Amino acid sequence: MENKTVNTPTSTRRDDDEIDLGRLFGLLLDRRWLIVSVTFVFMVFGVLYAVLSTPIYQADALLQVEKKSSGLPALGSEFGEMFTSDSEAATEIEIMKSRMVIGSVVDQLQLTHQVTPEYMPVIGEWLARRTPATDRVVLGQFTVPAAYEGRPLTLEFADDESSFTLVDENGELLLEGQVGTLASSEDFLLLISDVQLPDTNTFTLVKANRLRVIKSVQSGLSVGERGKQTGILTASFQHKDRRYAERVLDAIAQEYMLQNIRRNAAEAENSLSFIERQLPEVRKNLTEAEDKLNKYRLESQSVDLTIETESLLTRVVEIEKRLNELELKEKELSRLYTKEHPTYQSLMEQKQQLVREQEQINEQVGGLPETQQEVLRMARDVEVSQEIYVQLLNRMQELNVLKAGTVGNVRILDEAVTNPQAVAPKKSLIVVLATMLGGMVSVGYVFVTAALNRGVESPEQLEELGINVYASVPMSPTQRDMNASLASLVGRTKESKDLPFLALEDPADLAIEALRGLRTSLHFAMLEAKNKTIMISGPAPGVGKSFVTLNLAAVLAQAGQKVLVIDGDIRRGYMHLSLGLPNQYGLSDFLASVDKTPEGGAIDKNNLSTVIHKTRVPNMHFISRGTSAPNPSELMMHPRMAKMLEKANEYYDYVLIDTPPILAVTDAAIVGRYCGTTLLVARFGETPVKEVEVTVKRFAQNGIDVRGVILNSVERRAGAGYGYGYTYGYSYKSD
């Protein structure tokens, strides 16, 4: 076998990172029906979800938070007003959503008792919403052991709705009872006050954890301030049961307002308690001061004070009175502020000023006669104690009135009301989003599959690698239909005239016209070939090697050339089915035979004519693959193969051999050494360019030069930017 220089493909690819917008748009046009179908399916599911999903209703309420006032103007109005915030809405919002308020509502409404009706899956709840009445179970009392807290229990009613049974998830009976009567068993207690069962008599009963219920209510509660520093709070609560949402939100608003009133009343109550503790001691001091003054006057026989002394006494009493007021305020403010607070600091400055004035008056008192000084001091104690006592009595009366009339600084403007229209799901939005999602998924699928399976879409892609493209064979709708018929014929016997063959069925088909162009190219390509044998192979199965081989042979035969077609795929060849010929004795049998002549009129296995069959096409003969052999590669290397091809080249103008794919088995590399011309078949849009390149290199490694590639099943795709040159050919039919 002669040595020859083999050409390998050279890569001259353009930058693959460039984005071809035209190709992307063409891909969408090519797969438009897939995109439309997937988008439609998503839209249908979106409509079903929007229709069948449980609607969510929202209850709304409006509250007003007035400017915070302690109710004690004498204690706080003078010092703290300038330091208070204009709006306390942020604080009140957190109080309203606190466990203190929500927990009380959970206990009042017994929200830990959760009863859910059981319906048919998917559409059961939707059908139940269509009925005028709703399934309802009212629980008067429900207690379970700690181990059953949070576990779903099945509550089932009898047909007459008068009795019930309670079982756990394992089917164990826990309780039996009558509606309206308390049923008990061990640590289980259940009292059902009322039932309404229009659609089902089975319910799921759960004694939920209190903290989890509180958190669930908190998550469904939304509170915000309407406007900036308006003090107007909008509260809303969402739930699938509109009456439940309204009851819960109304209870939250009422409980929040009541706790606000209790909080304001608690301030007055604390102040009143402090005064009541101080009053007995002040009264005792007053009595002692009066007794002491009277006793001194009797002992010293003193007279009334002079006008000057009376004036000093008045000033002293006034200062003492103010000092006592400030001390009282200091005790009140010490519970509200730290010593560094501006209000507290202002009070201490006033107190120090009064102390300085008191010291000045004491110096004036020191200049009076001793008797006058003593009487002045005792009279001062009496006056001051009396002023303090009267002041405390007045304050106690004020606080009693304030406590009785406390209304709080929160009021409900609009009570909780549920909107008759569901706020969720947003049906139109769901349908739109589902449709958009379907479009994105389908478009993404098209782009991903196109990126992962970059099949050959134009001859230029191969020519950039230095690989010649001899012909582009368009996809034949007629052949596609015949392939379906051929698949149904496997394993059945049919007459040759009933089997499809495109070159005979539709000789004007565009695929046959492309093969006629290939016939001309082959004439010049084989001028320098060492023999008339043409091997047609491919990278992988399913590229259309057999289709190209048979129809190319038919086109050559119709031009008056003598053609021999050999099915070289000993493993899985099926060309005899397309030609309607038997496969009892073929290539594998001929190669495996021994050199002797059988007796008794048997087939001469040494005679090549015994394996050659005539076909329906004049001048076209065929050798089938024969019996499947366990060693096809070894048979191909047998000297009989070379002798057979030499003899065939003497009698035929063209010998076409269809071989298995080179990337799957090595048979083609063996056969290629006997052939003067080697052609590859690549399928449009499916065979990757890299796969064709690897195939050419594989043949080159075995000393076989691939003359060119036949691009098979070319389709008119906008994404490929290919096929527009066949517009005239698709519409042309001979008369």
Residue 316 has pLDDT above 50, yes or no: yes
The predicted pLDDT at position 695 comes to 92
What are the pLDDT digits (tens) for 97-125? 999 999 999 999 999 999 999 988 888 88
Mean pLDDT lowest for which of 141-145, 420-424, 522-526? Answer: 522-526
Q: Which of 189-198, 429-438, 488-497, 503-512 is predicted most confidently? A: 429-438
Please determine, for residue 83, whether its predicted confidence score (pLDDT) is greater than 90.
no
pLDDT value of position 250? 95
Across 332-347, average pLDDT? 78
Confidence band (pLDDT; 50, 70, 90) for 727? very low
What is the spatial distance between Cα 72 and Cα 402, in angstroms, rounded to a whole number?
9
pLDDT of residue 191: 92
pLDDT at 660 over 80: yes
The phi and psi torsions of 137 (rounded to 5 degrees) equal: -130, 125
pLDDT, residue 329, reads 78
Choose between 664 and 375: higher pLDDT.
664
Q: What is the CATH number of domain 279-415?
A: 1.20.58
Give the pLDDT confidence of 213-258 residue by residue, as tens digits: 999 999 999 999 988 888 899 999 999 999 999 999 999 999 999 8
The per-residue DSSP string of 427-473 comes to: HHHHHHHHHHHHHHHHHHHHHHHHHH--B--SHHHHHTTT--EEEEE
Q: What are the tens digits of pLDDT across the range 145-193?
A: 988 999 999 999 998 888 999 999 888 899 999 998 999 888 899 999 8
206, 144, 216, 139: which is closest to 175 by C-alpha? Answer: 144
* 302 vs 551, more confident: 551
Residue ranges covered by each domain of the chain: 22-53+429-452, 58-68+87-261, 279-415, 459-482+498-594+607-714
Residue 256 structure tokens = 């929040």
Most confident of 122-131, 263-272, 559-568, 623-632: 559-568
Q: How far is CA 401 from the centre of its chain?
A: 60
Per DSSP, helices labelled H in 632-707 are: 632-636, 639-651, 667-672, 689-701
Q: Under a CB-based contact definition with an 8 Å cutoff, are residues 239 and 57 in contact?
A: yes
Model confidence pLDDT, tens digit, residues 290-308: 777 677 666 665 545 555 5
- pLDDT for position 73: 46
Q: Does the pLDDT value for residue 320 go beyond 80?
A: no
pLDDT-derived band at 599 (thresholds 50, 70, 90) equals very low
Confidence of residue 3 (pLDDT cuts 50, 70, 90): very low
**Considering the chain, what is the average pLDDT of its residues?**
80
- The pLDDT-based confidence of 211 (bands split at 50, 70, 90) is very high
Per-residue confidence band for 371, with pLDDT thresholds at 50, 70 and 90: low
Closest by CA position to 558, among listed 509, 511, 512: 512
Report CA-CA distances (Å) from 17 to 20, 687, 718, 729: 9, 21, 20, 35
With 0-12 / 13-18 / 19 or more C-beta atoms within 10 angstroms meaning exposed / middle / buried, residue 173 is: exposed
Amino acid at 116: T
Name the amino acid, one letter, at 324.
N
Q: What is the mean pLDDT of residues 316-325?
A: 73
**Model pLDDT, residue 366:** 57
**Residue carrying structure tokens 């001194």:** 296
Task: With a cut of 70, say whether residue 441 has pLDDT above it.
Answer: yes
Lowest mean pLDDT among 67-71, 110-114, 579-583: 67-71
Q: Which of 121-130, 163-172, 722-731 has the highest mean pLDDT?
A: 163-172
What percent of the chain stands above pLDDT 70?
80
What CATH fold (topology level) applies to the domain 459-482+498-594+607-714? Rossmann fold (3.40.50)
Residues of the chain above pLDDT 90, percent: 32
d(Cα 207, Cα 165) in Å, to the nearest integer?
Answer: 16
Q: How many residues does the chain have?
A: 735
Residue 71 has pLDDT above 70, yes or no: no
pLDDT tens-digit readout, 15-49: 555 677 777 888 888 888 999 999 999 999 999 99
| Of the candidate ranges 170-184, 373-387, 656-670, the one whose mean pLDDT is the lowest | 373-387
Q: Are strands 183-185 and 620-623 parallel, antiparallel or unpaired?
A: unpaired
pLDDT (0 to 100) of residue 501: 77
Task: Tell me the whole-structure pTM to 2 decimals.
Answer: 0.61
Give the orientation angle of helix 99-109 with respect to helix 89-96, to 10 degrees.
40
Most confidently predicted of 80-89, 468-477, 551-560, 621-630: 551-560
pLDDT of residue 679: 94
